[in-house]
Amino acid sequence: MNSSQEHRERVRISGPVALELGKSVEGIFAEQDGLPVFKFFSAGEWREGDRIRDVKSPIDNSVIARLFVPGASDVEEALETLYKKGRWAARNLPGERRISILYRLAGLLEEHADELAEMLVVNAGKPRKAAYGEVHASIDRLRKTPLDLRKIVGDYIPGDWDEHTLETEGLVRREPYGVVLSIVPFNYPLFDTVNKFAYSFLPGNAVAIKPPSSDPLPIFAFVKLALEAGVPGDSLALLPLPGRETERMVSDPRVSVISLTGSTSTGEKVLRAAGIKQFVMELGGGDPAIVLSDADLDQAAEKVAQGITAYSGQRCDAIKLVLVERPVYEEFKQKLVEKLSQVRVGDPREEGVSMGPVIDRETADLVVRAAVEAREKGGKILYGGEKLGENYIMPTLVEVLDKNVLRQLEVYREEIFAAIAVITPVDSLDEAIELANGRRYGLDAAVFGKDVNKIRKAIRLLEVGAVYVNDLPRHGVGYYPFGGRKASGLNVEGIGYSIEYVTAYKSIVFNYKGARVWSYL
Ligand code: NAP
């Protein structure tokens, strides 16, 4: 059987999906009908609530666990504790103690790496290699927190550069805002929680975590381990509310900073609800890749295919638009289709599977609808466009030659959060840039080629937060900061960068007038 026939076979689920729970979550769940029901952490205690929700596995949509949902009074009490006690408890720990807690937490994540990876496989549907990748990135992120410290330092300002401030001097320091609300998306539930927690707690903030509804389980383990590592209980809350019920926390004046990673429409709702606060918002994306005619086409095809399909295209930095200079268009297109046909779709628990399910069946349906729309308007499905099971899709590439049609398509205008991309030839770099900038998103872009002048021009003109030259966009642990323009977000996430948005400037002015500290001429 060749690989494209293999792709058209329905995905075979290799056995019942069950969650094996270990020590990382010991003591934080009750049991009901043989399933664990996780308690939430209300800034000081693990609690049960009146309402219970199911948590499913995208592998086969079976229920693998349940959660207690906090009620309004639980949220109120948690915010009150974070605000009245927790923000001071975090801040009163000396910085070196906070950093050793984060180091200890890295060690605990390492100790429980297998359990955390298993949760990511079963609850998020990640192939095992990607699941371990996320766990190790989380550990790495925590161990890199000393690099964040370079941005906590302040300034000394001498007074004698202004006639009104003679005989005075000023210090400008940064201090924690207080309570940070971290709203976490489903695609990197563990890493995004760890990253947001690391840059918020390091300078001394208390943190309320709102996990994603579809795959929150690794975050329960994270909170338990964070407490074990020494994070003060009053300084941390895990409140698994459904998204639409989170707006009451978003608008609460005790929350000073909102760090949201999620879709653009969620970002818009949060901004409307929040009022005046600080924001870090990493929103929708889907990136263009420009392939110049002097690119190494094999290497570019390999990286673009990976950019389209890694974690089933459910990455903000996934490639969704492929713009190829006309002289190499046909050759590149064939190479890309060949690479896509080699991607093995299947049960993520199986060895050798590189593309597991998408998070739910609605997302799988969206891919089919977008491919059909492109075909009906004159495009061509070069590969995929079919479902292989409820939540499983073939990696999908559609070709659209007419640029006016392209601009109207869902796959160009919106972010379809799955492994689907559109490819089109361009007559010049200017045309590629115009099409790349024509999307409402502006997260990253990739440029493949050798001509430094063209590459430099693309870097200058692309309206995005990051440009990857001869590589697929990949944010990794945020060693290089990333953050979108336009509908893709506000501010950046990155080691040593995000800390700016969770700390406030405070100026302190010392007046020594008449004390003869200075003898001016
Ligand atoms: P989502 O549906 O927007 O959800 C993100 C988080 O927001 C979830 O915890 C969700 O809770 C919560 N939420 C939903 N509605 C809310 C509301 N009205 N008020 C407050 N919180 C609300 O996004 P997703 O599907 O989980 O994640 C995929 C999206 O994230 C994509 O658009 C992707 O591009 C983006 N993303 C961006 C970056 C970046 O760096 N720019 C990185 C990763 C992901 P529920 O789960 O309960 O609905």
Q: Are 423 and 330 in contact (CB under 8 A)?
A: no
Collect all residues with Cβ–Cβ distance below 8 Å to 44 and sequence separation of at least 6: 81, 233, 234
- Sign of the torsion formed by the C-alpha atoms of 83, 88, 89 and 91: positive
**pLDDT confidence of 153, banded at 50, 70, 90?**
confident
pLDDT tens digits, residue range 262-313? 999 999 999 999 999 999 999 999 999 999 999 999 999 999 999 999 999 9
Kindly give the distance from the C-alpha atom of residue 203 to the centroid of ligand 1, in angstroms, as a whole number: 25
Q: Which pLDDT score, from 0 to 100, does residue 186 have?
A: 98
Question: What type of residue is 46?
Answer: W
Instruction: Tell me the pLDDT tens digit for each residue of 158-208.
Output: 999 999 999 999 999 999 999 999 999 999 999 999 999 999 999 999 999
> By alpha-carbon position, which residue is closest to atom 43 of ligand 1?
316
Residue 1 has pLDDT above 50, yes or no: no
Is the CB–ligand 1 distance for residue 213 below 6 Å? yes
Q: Are 44 and 233 in contact (CB under 8 A)?
A: yes
Which residues of the chain are in CATH 3.40.309.10 domains? 287-478
- Per DSSP, the three-state class of 452 is helix
Is the CB–ligand 1 distance for residue 417 below 6 Å?
yes
Which candidate, 140, 123, 99, places its Cα nearest to that of 19?
Answer: 123
pLDDT digits (tens, 9 = 90+) for 47-93: 999 999 999 999 999 999 999 999 999 999 999 999 999 999 999 99
Contact 451, 292 (CB under 8 A): yes
Residues classed as catalytic: 282, 316
Mean pLDDT rounded to a whole number for the chain: 96
Distance (Å, whole) CA 181 – CA 100: 23
Q: Report domain 287-478's class.
A: alpha beta
Task: Name the segment(s) of the chain with CATH classification 3.40.605.10.
Answer: 77-282
77-282: CATH, from 2.60.120.330, 3.40.605.10, 3.40.50.970, 3.90.170.10: 3.40.605.10
5 pLDDT exceeds 70?
A: no
Closest residue by CA, ligand 1 atom 12: 243
Q: Does residue 415 line the site of ligand 1, with CB under 6 A?
A: yes
- pLDDT tens for each residue of 435-479: 999 999 999 999 999 999 999 999 999 999 999 999 999 999 999
Residue with the smallest CA separation from ligand 1 atom 42 is 316
Question: How confident is the model at residue 171, as a pLDDT?
Answer: 97
Residue ID of nearest Cα to ligand 1 atom 8: 212
What does the pLDDT look like over 306-345, one tens digit per residue?
999 999 999 999 999 999 999 999 999 999 999 999 999 9
Distance CA 161, CA 194 (A): 44
Categorize the per-residue pLDDT at 10 as very low, low, confident or very high, splitting at 50, 70 and 90. Answer: confident
**Residue from 245, 246, 475 to probe ligand 1 pocket by mutation (most atoms less than 8 Å from CB):** 246
Structure tokens at 73: 């009074």
**What beta strand segments (E) does 18-59 contain?**
29-32, 35-38, 40-41, 46-47, 51-56
CA of 65 to the centre of ligand 1 (A): 21
Q: Is 466 in the pocket of ligand 1 (CB under 6 A)?
A: no
How much is the pTM?
A: 0.97
* 298 residue type, one letter: D
With a cut of 50, say whether residue 235 has pLDDT above it. Answer: yes
Q: Quick check: 348 and 126 in contact, CB under 8 A?
A: yes
Is the CB–ligand 1 distance for residue 212 below 6 Å? yes
User: Does ligand 1 lie within 6 Å of residue 183's CB atom?
Assistant: yes
CA of 260 to the centre of ligand 1 (A): 7
Q: What share of the chain is helix, strand, coil (3-state, %, to 5)?
A: 40, 25, 35
Q: Average pLDDT for residues 477-493, to the nearest whole number? A: 97
Distance from the alpha carbon of residue 382 to the mean position of ligand 1, in angstroms: 30
384-400 average pLDDT score = 97
User: 231 with 201: CB under 8 angstroms?
Assistant: yes
